[in-house]
Structure 1
């Protein structure tokens, strides 16, 4: 296949272009974000999305087995010999009629996309297989990331699979043990900074620049190319039909940014006939996007984003020494690096943003555990968001909705155990204590 990819600055006043073999991650000319673009006129593309189904018959082939690379024509930025895979993307879209009934949705219209079934237990693997493929292309030997947990787990796993040295930056006391254990187990050098994720993000960028280390946060535009495939698999699972709504948690905003890009490309290429609406759900304790969009009216505006609004808010954060706080630690981020790209996705998908308190997220998580396969706390923001949007009439019961569940239930078990044992919500299911007496045990079971 012809490789037609290149990097382009998203700033319309700059628009600088760079070769795909450069590892830069921010525009060297203006400092803005970079996109991966393609000359689609020279690309080898399927006539229709259904053509990708043929690769299911070739699952003994490494790239056809991957739930990312079986769609490689739509993210073909490197030669096949550089494409890294450890079997990512073997996820399912579950039609969940129990949750549909609980939320007042019609039967058959609520679907849960379980990204926790990836090798490291979260959606991050979709992006890491792409980013590490680019790292292979440029000959990187060492990599690093800042993380609330899932990124460190995925980076560590892919790094040792590729024989690369890996360093992860985590905030002090701000990472779930289930995720931290993965990074340590996979052999990463773990550096804990006296600060939060935003502090870690600043430091890792400076370290990568000074030491020429390959950066693997979602600032990396090649990582976001892999995350587009989550949407391809949802369409695939719906018999190549596009849902009416996609609902996703909002943290560093890499997923929402990549989803909008994916749908615009598919629509422009004539591979889908409509673009779904996108709902991004912040936790109230980390509601930067919701505040800027809903209170300050921030828009994409064809790329001319009112950055003074963003800078003003961040200056206020610094002055007040503000640090985000939510039980949904994966989205506990106050300075999302992909904010501008996310605004573009909101425009593309006629999207919206809301923020929800932890109590609603925890109740939604318990519902997913009771009626589905379970998920980590941040994932449940999508179902909590669906509940709210149905209640206020934004989403109709007859519309088809796909909620993205970003991580596995065992990523943060402490939140789950506390919810149930401390009776924190309406679905709490604590253990029942009984004497070591057979008759009393039987009485409890019969009751």
Structure 2
């Protein structure tokens, strides 16, 4: 899904045999030695844009939420949101949320406290072993009196399905925020009781549809006969 979008806009794609972290290390080195812009989370302009989502949340709620749950991969988003909430509160007095950063269990370097050489998770967008903004993310969670936690892939998929049932189809990584909130509420319900919570869903389901299509059975083929189809539909009601 992500690759198709880049190609549609005319990008020339080079595929690297290795992990996200290996690829990032290479392109960072290239961008440092040549007049090439790196638009990854390491780019400060990207964070300046992302932080405005925090402004939008405060505008909509007329205050900061009590909690903000957000997926954490390369850690640019959580860093940017915290920057945005702090700046907006300085100007508007909207207050600050506690941050709940959520990593996948097989790719949770910030939870474990050290890089992971071979991260594994079905949530591809957060399958990162050495986040570029890791230090800033940990500091943001600490300053907000929040936390960064890990959830397993099963809960991520359950959360993806729950969101879809409510009209919001997101990629697996984007469901991590809800998965983290569900896990935390189960273990510490009083912490979130009567609180205003915002969950950030970062990417549409079309960006990573493989999990859906992988388990999808091929459709059965029927004749173009209204009686046959009508009977099938009625039987399945």
Instruction: Report the TM-score when normalising by structure 1.
Output: 0.49
Q: Secondary structure at the match of 2:13?
A: strand
1:385 paired with 2:180, answer yes
Residue in structure 1 matched with residue 160 of structure 2 by the alignment: 365
Match of 1:194 among 7, 14, 17: 17
Q: What is the distance in 2 between the residues matched to 1:439 and 1:247?
A: 45
Distance 1:274 1:414, change over 3 A: same
Name the structure 2 match of 1:97: none
Aligned partners of 1:361 and 1:377 also within 8 Å: yes
| 2:144 equivalent among 349, 354, 359 | 349
Task: Give how far 1:263 is off.
Answer: 2.0
Corresponding residue number in structure 2 for 1:445: 236
Corresponding position of 2:102: 281
Unaligned stretches of 5+ residues in structure 1:
1-177, 293-312, 423-429
Q: CA deviation at 1:260?
A: 1.5
State whether structure 2 residue 80 is matched by structure 1 residue 258.
yes
1:195 is paired with a residue whose SS is coil
State the partner residue of 2:49. 226
- Aligned counterpart for 2:212 among listed residues 413, 416, 434: 416
State the alpha-carbon separation in 1 of the partners of residues 182 and 101 from structure 2: 13
1:389-423 C-alpha deviation (Å, 9 max, x unpaired)? 1111154231111000001121112212335x37x
Supply the distance in 1 between the matched residues of 2:230 and 2:136 (Cα, whole angstroms).
Answer: 62
Cα shift readout 1:96-121 (whole Å, capped 9, x = no counterpart): xxxxxxxxxxxxxxxxxxxxxxxxxx
Aligned to 1:323: 118
Q: Say whether 1:272 aligns with 2:93.
A: yes
Q: Tell me what 1:407 maps to.
A: 203
Instruction: State the superposition RMSD in angstroms.
Output: 2.0
Instruction: Tell whether the 8 Å contact from 1:260 to 1:344 is kept in structure 2 after alignment.
Output: no
What are the equivalent positions in structure 2 for 1:241-252 lying under 5 Å apart?
241-252=63-74
Q: Any unmatched runs of 5+ in structure 2?
A: none
Structure 1 residues 347 and 195: CA distance shift in structure 2, 3 A:
same
How many residue pairs were aligned? 232
Equivalent residues of 1:242, 1:272 under 8 A apart: no
**In 1, distance between residues paired with 2:222 and 2:15?**
44
The Cα shift of 1:442 comes to 4.1
Q: Is the 8 A contact 1:259 1:345 kept in 2?
A: no
Report deviation, 1:245.
0.6
Structure 1 or 2: larger strand share? Answer: 1
List structure 1 segments (4+ residues) > 3 angstroms apart after TM superposition. Answer: 433-436
